[in-house]
Amino acid sequence: MAALSKGVPRTSERSVTVLGVVAPPPIRVEGPRFSGSLATLFQCVRDRKIDLRGVPLAPVCEAYLDYLGTSSNWDLDGAATALEALSYLLERKAWILLPTPEAEPDLQEPVSLPEPTTDLFDEAIASLRQRRDLRERLFFRGPEPDQDPYEPASEARPVTVKDLARAFERLLAKAAPIEFEPPTERRRSLSEHMRLVLRALSREGCTLEDLVPQPFTRSEAVWWFLSLLELIRLDQASVRLRGEDVVFSRKERPAA
């Protein structure tokens, strides 16, 4: 019924659609009553040209989820546009199918956005890019002003983001399900949590799973992981690979 076409349009190839300026991913909808793209289905429904009762939406939603799960180059704008279109279609269909005496309200129709005029700036963008490339080949005395404060310390370089993500994934797999508790205690700030993590870190180092005290929830796992990243950035913790394992340790501080 619904399938994902190959090839996601790049930003520069996007056209203005009825959904706005960003085309949704190329999800094809095939069925006895309708055959075409998600964008076309949306337009037809919005313009009251098609009866949604003959168009099953579950396969379209599945194709969308499949797109999110399998496509390596999906972008947030396109995904959000498709989600908005799907939610619109589902709401319209719900009003058709649900037995309610209430009349269908006027759903908020997407406002047609103005056409982008960024092409006016193409020359400027090309010029900025060119200048930026040249600038990257020039070095000046003193601290480079564009050091990103959120970049991890250089020592973390041998450990890739994938290594960190894998270590975090392994930790999350062991997390206990979150039980609802009414908020009674004051929420701990990240800096407070960082102090806690710093105390738990040894100079020898250990894996994330050995570091976080058991049992822990997914939220606690996230707090521990974020705190570690921040400590690495501040050069108070270090991370290295030991075989397949990512090992976190307390950074040696030079004696004053």
Partner 1 sequence: MIHELPNLVGRIEAVLFVAEAPVSLPLLAQLLAVPEGVVEEGVALLNARLADQSAVMVLRIAGGYQLSTRPEYAELVERFLKPQHQRLSRSLLEVLAIVAYRQPVTQSEVETVRAVQSDYGIRVLVERGLIKEVGRKESPGRPILYGTTQQFLHQLNLDNLAELPDVEGRDFSQLELDIS
For binding to partner 1 (CB under 8 A), which residues are involved? Answer: 11-12, 16, 20-22, 77, 113-118, 120-121, 123-125, 127-129, 131-132, 134-148, 151, 154
C-alpha span between 122 and 114 (Å, rounded)? 18
Residue 130 CB, nearest approach to partner 1 (Å): 9
Residue 6: CB minimum distance to partner 1, A: 23
**Please, which residue, 135 or 242, has the CB nearer to partner 1?**
135
Nearer to partner 1, 6 or 137 (CB): 137
Query: Which is nearer to partner 1, 77 or 210 (by Cβ)?
Result: 77
Among residues 96 and 124, whose Cβ is nearest to partner 1?
Answer: 124
Q: How far is the CB of 152 from partner 1 (least distance, A)?
A: 9
57 in Cβ contact with 16 (< 8 Å): no
- At CA 109, angle to CA 82 and CA 5, rounded to 5? 20
Q: What is the dihedral of CA 227, 228, 229, 230, to 10 degrees?
A: 50
Closest to partner 1 by CB, 138 or 255: 138
Closest contact distance (angstroms) between CB of 124 and partner 1 is: 4
Using the 8-state DSSP alphabet, how is residue 121 labeled? G
Please identify, using beta-carbon distances, which residue of 58 and 80 lies nearer to partner 1: 80
Q: How many CB atoms lie within 10 A of CB 92?
A: 18
Q: Smallest Cα–Cα separation from 8: which of 72, 90, 96?
A: 72
**Nearest distance, CB of residue 88 and partner 1, angstroms:** 18
Q: SS3 for 247?
A: strand
**Helix, strand or coil, per DSSP, at residue 151:** coil
Rounded to a whole number of angstroms, the minimum distance from the CB of residue 32 to partner 1 is: 36
What's the rounded Cα separation, in Å, for the pair 246 and 239? Answer: 7
Q: Give, for 161, the enclosing helix (H) or strand (E).
A: helix 161-173
